[in-house]
Structure 1
Amino acid sequence: MSEHRYTTYYLDMHCPSQLRGKPMVEDLAIVECRIKQYRFNRFLYQLVGAPWAWTDKLSWSDAQWQALVEQPGHRTWVAYHQGAIAGYYELLRDAEGEVEILYFGLVDSFVGRGFGGPLLTHALQSAWAWAGTRRVWVHTCTLDHPSALANYQARGLRLYREELCDEPAD
């Protein structure tokens, strides 16, 4: 079995003044899912993640999804354009006030339409609006969309670690 190498990038932000926002685009509505539905999160994960080989949670049971989504520190927002799901993000906050952008992405048919920057701006603003937040962080990798790392950095997130990883080939 051969190995494929990729790089994982870890980025963070320590205060809201570091945010370099991108204005919201017309006809993009971002709504928080205030009623937690773990099956909806599984659907969003598959819808957005399929083109980027998000596979780490494909084998998860209902109980695993439910445990993730229904914990008090987990929140989900969905972006809609003309009634269609354009993308989403999930935030996961720990007891120390560190908020991870757990998942973030656009549906493949909405990539390249100028939604990524405004959606990420919204995610960062939502994380900082959460009372007690001390740090916001995210990770991405070279298997993700080629513009992902640049978008994170353009919004003010700073690279603090890189890891070279091996992935078994299928």
Structure 2
Amino acid sequence: MLAGVEITTWHLDQQAASDIRAATPPATPMTLTRVELPSPELNRYLYAGVGGDWFWLDRLSWSWQQWYDWLDRPGVETWLATVRGTPIGYVELDGHREGEVELAYFGLLPAFVGQGFGGHLLTVALQRAWSLAERWPQLQPVRRVWVHTCTLDGPAALKNYQARGMKLYRTETEEADLPAESPGAWPGANRPPRLGPA
């Protein structure tokens, strides 16, 4: 256990869809598909696979029912990024606050980091966040999209959010106790070799 690790958290938002600054699409086509049926198994796989190297710990102990109840709410959406039918990353949108959408979770599986997918995935994720109320007519129109990232996330995360037009509005620093090592995708998993598309 590492005690008293200093963690800086950055809070960013957008006030209008016109604030999005689109990234150049990657050379290899990527598809983003909405997962329309709640799937605890899929979301837990994505959460552990994307966040395993970055100390995403909060949901690892969730039961199947906790996952299902979270996903089966109006305004909560999972968007799955694939290349040639292979999952490469995802975004989870949380629109349960009136007029706001949080990018609750966002990222790529380790083998696909650094290949130009992240900026494009975030561009499309922000577009989907701003249009969320069109898919959930019981919700208020979206007035704000926000996210937070921290020093435990990937080193390119903050720059990517800012490059896509999100603006920093608050910074916080706190201490936390962490395991000596990040959990990885599953117990005993090694970081995979770079498996980019052919």
Unaligned runs of 5+ in 1: none
Cα distance in structure 2, aligned partners of 1:18 and 1:112: 24
Instruction: Return the offset for 1:94.
Output: 2.1
Is 1:32 aligned with 2:41?
no
Residue 14 (structure 2) pairs with residue 5 (structure 1):
no
C-alpha distance in structure 1 between counterparts of 2:80 and 2:53, whole Å: 18
Alignment-mate amino acid for residue 9 of structure 1: W
In 2, Cα distance between the equivalents of 1:95 and 1:139? 16
Aligned to 2:18: 17
Query: Which runs of no fewer than 5 residues in structure 2 stay unpaired?
Result: 134-140, 180-198
Q: Deviations over 1:51-99 (max 9, x none)?
A: 1111111111122111111111100011111221111000000241100
TM-score, normalization by structure 1? 0.95
CA separation in 1, counterparts of 2:178 and 2:17? 40
Query: SS of 2:81's equivalent?
Result: strand
Q: Which segment is superposed worse, 56-65 or 3-12?
A: 56-65
Residue 139 (str. 1) matches residue 148 (str. 2): yes
* Structure with the largest fraction of strand: 1
Residues in 1 aligned to 2:144 and 2:40: alpha-carbon distance in whole angstroms? 26
Once the two structures are TM-superposed, the CA of residue 124 in structure 1 deviates from its matched residue by: 0.3
Give runs of aligned pairs for residues 84-123 of structure 1, distance below 5 A.
Answer: 84-123=86-125
Q: Which residue of 2 aligns with 1:64?
A: 66
TM-score, scaled relative to structure 2: 0.82
Distance in 2, matches of 1:126 and 1:29, equals 13
Read off the aligned partner of 2:107 and give its amino acid letter.
G
Conserved 8 A contact 2:13-2:166: yes
User: Greater shift after overlay, 94-103 or 6-15?
Assistant: 94-103
CA distance in 1, matches of 2:178, 2:161: 28
Aligned length: 170
Larger Rg computed on CA atoms = 2
Matched, 1:154 2:163: yes
Structure 1, residues 4-28: CA drift from partner, whole Å, max 9, x if none? 1010111000001111011332321
Cα separation, 2, equivalents of 1:53 and 1:74: 23
Q: Secondary structure at the match of 1:42?
A: helix
Superposed CA RMSD in Å reads: 1.2
Q: Deviations over 1:121-143 (max 9, x none)?
A: 01100011123111000010011
Aligned-residue identity in percent: 47
Task: Tell me, in whole angstroms, the C-alpha distance in 2 between the residues paired with 1:20 and 1:95.
Answer: 24
C-alpha separation in 2, matches of 1:148 and 1:101: 12
CA contact (8 A) 1:38 1:70 kept: no
Amino acid at match of 2:24: P
